[in-house]
Structure 1
């Protein structure tokens, strides 16, 4: 059995019918930067945040019978309180309060809560394709 020592997260993928729109959202909201992409036989955009978080945006296969995302882009869930707890990506942001204000100013519906420790603030919302996102005021210590 192979050891997982040295394993690390390579990237997170999101499929979309409009990867340019989705890329713009992640660049404007979190500061992702677009990086060089390998060539595929479908459109892709690679985004990078910090030194190690990569987001791979993939053109949706038009022949796919699977839902576009956890919530269909044509009927995304409006209230992030209904986000299933296991269906999100969480990003620590040092400017939590200002980013939260920016989301609200853009008309993005946000569900906020504070953990029982009284220090960790969380905000849940959806990207334009209905994928769940969380921002956190605390970075986990590893």
Structure 2
């Protein structure tokens, strides 16, 4: 990031606060639980609030613990029992940083059958996709974010990474109704993939890369995998 770009960020505003619309009200059905917690248990650490703007003039609020930045301390997880409740409802979307949003959108739409839907008028490029019961938000990589390389293949010490590498790495998994038809589809688009069978089942797994190296798993008979684990007393839904 150039010095001119960096100078556009606002300075710390000690007494600034994020808009109240960013903060969810306490659930009305839990006042008794809140009262039963001691003041010490619910007291949050001191936080610094920084009101800032990106180089694209987007306003945001950075909130972080006061004091020097030391990274995540796993000891804070010991406070889980006294933490306010977490009430996640479902998975709304997952996001992927991409360098060619139209190419990746076309891949997921034309190869995997997603639909592209409208998105808010963000000041940066991207695409929203819907399919398989989830949304994918493609976000154009920010050119001001310092990174060692823009080429995903630089993660590997080979010229052409093989798709089986992602079996034990980051990937997104989608259930497929007809694996044989999906394999024919992948071959139609001349896509390389690796195929596995889940141990003790006939459930198949396919692993592949999209054009920018995002890992994808396509699987069948996930219910059979769950049943196999249940029969062994290992299933805990």
The TM-score, its normalising length taken from structure 1, stands at: 0.84
Match of 2:139 in 1: 58
Instruction: Show the counterpart of 1:98.
Output: 181
Larger mean CA deviation between 5-14 and 62-71 belongs to: 62-71
Q: Secondary structure at the match of 1:134?
A: strand
Decide whether aligned partners of structure 1 residues 88 and 46 sit closer, same or farther in structure 2, where only a CA change above 3 A counts. same
CA contact (8 A) 1:15 1:60 kept: yes
Higher relative contact order (CA 8 A, sep 6+): 1
Deviation at 1:60, TM superposition (A): 1.2
Whole-angstrom CA distance in 1 between matches of 2:222 and 2:117: 24
Q: CA deviation at 1:71?
A: 4.2
Distance 1:23 1:116 in 2: 33
Partner of 2:190: 107
TM-score (norm 2): 0.53
Residues 111 and 189 in structure 2, CA contact (< 8 A), matched pair in contact too: no
Structure-2 change in CA distance of 1:13 and 1:20 (3 Å): same
Q: Deviations over 1:77-127 (max 9, x none)?
A: 531122251310010010211111221232211110101133210010100
Alignment of 1:1-142 (within 5 A): 1-50=83-132, 52-66=133-147, 67-68=149-150, 71=153, 77-83=160-166, 85-140=168-223
Taking only aligned residues, the RMSD between alpha carbons, in angstroms, comes to 2.4
Decide which structure has the larger Cα Rg and report it: 2
Gaps of 5+ in 1: none
Aligned-pair distance for 1:5? 3.2
> Greater strand share, 1 or 2?
1
Per-residue deviation, residues 30-63 of structure 1 (Å, max 9, x unmatched)? 211111101211012100014x300000111122
Shift of 1:6: 4.2
Shift of 1:69: 7.4
How many positions carry a matched residue from both structures? 140
